[in-house]
């Protein structure tokens, strides 16, 4: 029995089987992201895992447009601090590799221009990449905010469905070996391909970035790092320490010094920004 392959378009492949009597047509539909606006998949390589202290040494962004067009950029970044040897062993980027590269502040406007107004996608991005990127933007005096965007965390979808690493996810969903793992560009491209394959594999996943963002999110938080959460009524509450579960506004009223303690302690800049906005909102409510 002979067969012929006809590629109809980027999302459909037709197989024609010749059984000497007639032709049998089999159509395979390849799932493509259903986008209402661009989405930027990105990955960071950093000096470490501390959101408040560590810095970016490489960032790769893959921007996917609703019409299917893509553009990608990768930047090496001078972190203005030493890269620990144990970290270099993971991603292969040494101090010598970035000593002459631009700082994040020097790149910040170009990077922000690329992701502004876009939804975001990544692998473990909700817990690490987005919070750390926000810190870098705030240090560079760029008011990073994604209130009008959603974030799709491919790792969370994967863990809810299969529970493995990015390399395993890439092999499982795409049947490929991830070359250059822990290279920001390779990880970014793999993340995008894994999400498309997840949509193709699971019928119950909706091809909609807002739905995927909700499905891939953990507990709702007001800040990226998770120090300020929302209760069932949608009110901000502290999610740590002696005031865990208490309303932020009430704590600030009862213990004004708690605000100053957080502002002067080693909390992420974005957490401090959110806390300040809550304090100012409460003050405005009192004045009105």
- What is the DSSP secondary-structure string of 181-217? TT-HHHHHHHHHHHHHHHHHH-TTS-S-HHHHHHHT-
Question: CA distances (Å), 192 to each of 28, 64, 123, 170, in order?
Answer: 20, 9, 9, 10
Q: Is residue 221 part of a domain?
A: no
Looking only at the bridges linking them, the beta strands covering 12-18 and 23-29 are antiparallel
The answer to whether the CB of 190 falls within 8 A of the CB of 180 is no
Do 52 and 183 have their domain in common?
A: yes
Please give the Cα distance from 156 to 162 (Å, whole number): 10
Question: CA distances (Å), 60 to each of 191, 216, 262, in order?
Answer: 12, 21, 32
What pLDDT was estimated at residue 146? 81
Q: Is residue 109 part of a domain?
A: yes
Nearest to 276 by CA among 265, 288, 286, 263: 263
Do 119 and 205 have their domain in common?
A: yes
Do 191 and 99 have their domain in common?
A: yes
Q: Which one of 181, 215, 249 terminates a domain? A: 215
Do 135 and 21 have their domain in common?
A: no
Do 89 and 192 have their domain in common?
A: yes
Q: Which one of 174, 190, 215 terminates a domain? A: 215
Do 63 and 125 have their domain in common?
A: yes
Q: Is residue 220 part of a domain?
A: no
pLDDT tens digits, one per residue of 56-75:
999 999 999 999 999 999 99
Q: Is residue 70 part of a domain?
A: yes
Q: What predicted TM-score, i.e. pTM, was given to this entire model?
A: 0.69
What pLDDT was estimated at residue 254? 94
Do 173 and 274 have their domain in common?
A: no
Domain containing residue 94: CATH number: 3.30.420.10
What pLDDT was estimated at residue 265? 93
What pLDDT was estimated at residue 1? 45
Let me know how many helices (H) and strands (E) the chain has, helices first: 11, 10
Please give the Cα distance from 167 to 183 (Å, whole number): 12
Do 20 and 43 have their domain in common?
A: no
Q: 54-65 in b/e burial notation, b at 16+ Cβ within 10 A?
A: bbbbbbbbbbbe
Q: Is residue 240 part of a domain?
A: yes
Do 16 and 99 have their domain in common?
A: no
Do 24 and 44 have their domain in common?
A: no
What pLDDT was estimated at residue 283? 87
What is the average pLDDT value for the chain, to the nearest integer?
A: 88
Q: Which one of 152, 185, 215 terminates a domain? A: 215
Please give the Cα distance from 95 to 2 (Å, whole number): 57
The answer to whether the CB of 157 falls within 8 A of the CB of 204 is no
Using 50 as the pLDDT threshold, list the residues of the chain that sit under it.
1, 3
Give how many domains the chain has, as a whole number.
3
Q: What is the DSSP letter of 49?
A: S
Q: 206-217 in b/e burial notation, b at 16+ Cβ within 10 A?
A: eebbeebbebbe
What pLDDT was estimated at residue 159? 85
Do 107 and 142 have their domain in common?
A: yes
Q: Is residue 222 part of a domain?
A: no
Please give the Cα distance from 76 to 63 (Å, whole number): 18
Classify 121 as helix, strand or coil: strand
Angle at CA of residue 116, ends 114 and 117, nearest 5°: 125
Please give the Cα distance from 245 to 118 (Å, whole number): 32
Q: Which domain holds residue 46?
A: 39-215
Do 93 and 169 have their domain in common?
A: yes
């Amino acid at each position: 029995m002979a067969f012929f392959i006809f590629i109809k378009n980027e999302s459909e492949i037709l197989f024609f089987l010749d059984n000497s009597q007639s032709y049998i047509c089999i159509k395979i539909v390849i799932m493509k992201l259903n986008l209402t606006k661009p989405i930027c998949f990105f990955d960071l390589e950093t000096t470490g895992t501390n959101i408040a202290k560590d810095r970016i040494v490489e960032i790769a962004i893959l921007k996917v447009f609703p019409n299917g067009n893509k553009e990608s950029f990768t930047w090496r970044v001078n972190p203005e601090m030493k890269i620990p040897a144990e970290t270099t062993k993971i991603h292969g980027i040494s101090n010598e590799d970035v000593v002459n590269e631009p700082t994040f502040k020097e790149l910040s406007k170009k990077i922000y221009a690329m992701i502004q107004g876009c939804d975001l996608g990544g692998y473990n991005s909700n817990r690490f990449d987005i919070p750390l990127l926000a810190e870098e933007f705030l240090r560079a005096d760029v008011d990073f905010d994604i209130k009008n965007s959603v974030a799709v965390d491919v790792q969370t979808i994967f863990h809810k469905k299969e529970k493995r690493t990015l390399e395993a996810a890439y092999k499982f969903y795409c049947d490929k070996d991830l070359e250059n793992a822990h290279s920001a560009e390779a990880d970014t491209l793999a993340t995008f391909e894994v999400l498309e394959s997840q949509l193709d594999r699971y019928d119950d996943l909706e091809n909609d970035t807002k739905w995927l963002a909700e499905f891939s999110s953990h507990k709702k938080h007001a800040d990226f790092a998770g120090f300020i959460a929302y209760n069932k009524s949608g009110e901000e509450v502290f999610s740590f320490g002696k005031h865990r579960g208490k309303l932020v506004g009430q704590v600030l009223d009862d213990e004004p010094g708690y605000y100053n303690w957080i502002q002067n302690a080693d909390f992420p800049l974005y957490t401090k920004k959110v806390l300040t906005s809550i304090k100012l909102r409460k003050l405005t409510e009192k004045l009105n």
